[in-house]
Amino acid sequence: MPTGRSTKKSSAIVACALARTVPRPQLNAHWEVYKEVHQKKYRNMGGPGEENRRRLIWEDNLDFIQKHNLEYDLGLHTYRGPGSSHLQSGSQQLLC
């Protein structure tokens, strides 16, 4: 019988396997503004693909913040989430 911990771990693995690998083109302009405002440059760090990896994290965090703020507007939370932040292209753990 799987424990709660192993079930959560399995769920995380499945989520990672299903994660998107291609950025949404409709967010290209927003991404460029984000990088400019927060002076982000990913081309020279982490090797090829680092900017794409950070972009996907940024998109996930943008979705998370927008969903949270919608729920705030519906009275489901007591605080509004952050706007655009220099931490947004890092993991959600940095935002929470």
CB atoms within 10 A of CB 60: 16
Residue 34 has pLDDT above 50, yes or no: yes
pLDDT of amino acid 26: 98
Return the percent helix, strand and coil in the chain, to nearest 5. Answer: 60, 0, 40
pLDDT at residue 17 above 60?
A: no
Q: Please state the domain count of the chain.
A: 1
Residue 75 has pLDDT above 70, yes or no: yes
For 48-73, how does the pLDDT look when each residue is reduced to its tens digit (9 = 90+)? Answer: 789 999 999 999 999 999 999 999 99
Please report, for the domain that includes residue 76, its CATH number: 1.10.287
Residue 24 has a pLDDT of 96
pTM over 0.85, yes/no? no
Domain membership of residue 43 as a residue range: 4-95
